[in-house]
Structure 1
Amino acid sequence: MPMYKKAMFILLIIVAAAVGGTYYGLHDEEKSAVLESAGTNEGNLPAREITVYVTGAVNKPGLVKVPEGARAADAVNACGGLLPTADSEKVNMAQALKDGQQLKVPEKSVMANKNDVSKSDRSNVDKSKAGGSGDLININTADEKALDTLPGVGPAMAKRIIEYRETEGAFQSIEDIKKIRGIGEAKFAKLKDKICI
């Protein structure tokens, strides 16, 4: 009999531990469910919106609100899309937008029907395509090789300029090039007559 009582006592301890563990596990699971449902409510909140100013060759230029993390294409679509005269190749439509950013969609250079263009007009068009006075380099569209030809800009600096365009968006003025690490006032003074946006 003492062996039987001992076994019963051990069995009761095991059952009590199992019941206690189950109760504790269920109690913790209820706490988890409360935390998960609180997180789910946050997920139901509307995504934070940012405001972007879209100008240029779009149907309805102006301020638009887009969800945080939106791309340039989303802002252009919010403005009714591109005009037929828009030069979409000059805008990185995959560029991530930031609150307060200005996105400018340029127009294609005006090219009349070749039959209607006189020789003098044609030479003016050719000059504007080449960059006009002194073949300025567009810091928003130039490739690494073209940027490398600028005074004081080597291959590493050219890469930094392109990386800046890809992460921060197009330069809004030629002075913005000073935001590139390594370009200060002295280097900008050498560059300013050779670059454009």
Structure 2
Amino acid sequence: MMDKDGECTMPMYKKAMFILLIIVAAAVGGTYYGLHDEEKSAVLESAGTNEGNLPAREITVYVTGAVNKPGLVKVPEGARAADAVNACGGLLPTADSEKVNMAQALKDGQQLKVPEKSVMANKNDVSKSDRSNVDKSKAGGSGDLININTADEKALDTLPGVGPAMAKRIIEYRETEGAFQSIEDIKKIRGIGEAKFAKLKDKICI
């Protein structure tokens, strides 16, 4: 259709139809992209959920030494040395736990060795115990009591009323007459009567 100036113009109903088509196309396009975004979000959410449900990754560690069940064990990724030791049934009594860092993080394929206490350390412990027993024997033996059959002169000298001279007489008596058969026998030592024995009887033993 030509207007009065000779230019071609579109009828009004065609303009209306054209505008309507544009609106419909925009609406359809918006709906499509909206549905597409929702589907994409649903897929991502589903993937995240599935990933969260996956079991924790495990690593394999070789544990040797002073544990109850040495060998290969599986522990969760990020586990510590203590976890691997527990998986092996725990430490043996001979294990030297101070030489193992139980807090160290483990890696797949790692070897964890738990050493045993050295023989020298055990010997030192025994030697200390033996020396302690010897010292107790020299001092008199049972608790705070002085054993008049085994105590040396220094230990006997600590008894009330017993000086160096009397301590020597007690030792000489043991050497010549033999061991005391009862604590009352100490009264056979010159200088120890009933009064002094009363002070000694709760301090001595045989």
Tell me the TM-score normalised to structure 1 length: 0.45
The Cα of 1:47 is off from its aligned counterpart by 2.5
8 Å Cα contact 1:95-1:169 kept in structure 2: no
The Cα of 1:103 is off from its aligned counterpart by 0.2
Runs of 4+ in 1 over 6 A off after TM superposition: 1-16, 111-116, 119-197
- Residues 141-191 of structure 1 deviation map (CA, whole Å, 9 limit, x = unaligned): 999999999999999999999999999999999999999999999999999
Q: How many percent identity over aligned positions? A: 100
The Cα of 1:49 is off from its aligned counterpart by 2.0
Corresponding residue of 2:34? 25
Which stretch has the larger CA shift, 98-107 or 21-30? Answer: 21-30
The Cα of 1:77 is off from its aligned counterpart by 1.2
Which stretch has the larger CA shift, 166-175 or 90-99? Answer: 166-175
* C-alpha separation in 1, matches of 2:193 and 2:109: 25
Which stretch has the larger CA shift, 162-171 or 134-143? Answer: 162-171
RMSD: 24.1
From the CA coordinates, give the structure whose radius of gyration is larger.
Answer: 2
Corresponding residue of 1:135? 144
Q: 2:181 aligns with which of 164, 169, 172?
A: 172
Closer, same or farther in 2 for the Cα pair 1:174/1:56, shift >3 Å? farther
The Cα of 1:59 is off from its aligned counterpart by 1.6
Which stretch has the larger CA shift, 20-29 or 77-86? Answer: 20-29
Three-state SS of the structure 2 residue aligned to 1:135 is coil
Tell me the TM-score normalised to structure 2 length: 0.44
Closer, same or farther in 2 for the Cα pair 1:153/1:17, shift >3 Å? farther
* C-alpha separation in 2, matches of 1:28 and 1:164: 109
Higher-RCO chain (CA-CA 8 Å, sequence separation at least 6): 1
Which stretch has the larger CA shift, 179-188 or 75-84? Answer: 179-188
Residue pairs, 1:71-150, within 5 angstroms: 71-110=80-119, 117-118=126-127
The Cα of 1:114 is off from its aligned counterpart by 8.8
The Cα of 1:52 is off from its aligned counterpart by 0.8
The Cα of 1:96 is off from its aligned counterpart by 1.6
The Cα of 1:71 is off from its aligned counterpart by 1.6
8 Å Cα contact 1:95-1:166 kept in structure 2: no
Unmatched runs of 5 consecutive residues or more in structure 1: none
Closer, same or farther in 2 for the Cα pair 1:26/1:84, shift >3 Å? farther
The Cα of 1:39 is off from its aligned counterpart by 3.4
Three-state SS of the structure 2 residue aligned to 1:140 is coil
Closer, same or farther in 2 for the Cα pair 1:157/1:70, shift >3 Å? farther
Corresponding residue of 2:69? 60
Matched residue count = 197
Which stretch has the larger CA shift, 170-179 or 41-50? Answer: 170-179
The Cα of 1:68 is off from its aligned counterpart by 2.1
- Residues 104-150 of structure 1 deviation map (CA, whole Å, 9 limit, x = unaligned): 11123357889984489999999999999999999999999999999
8 Å Cα contact 2:138-2:155 kept in structure 1: no
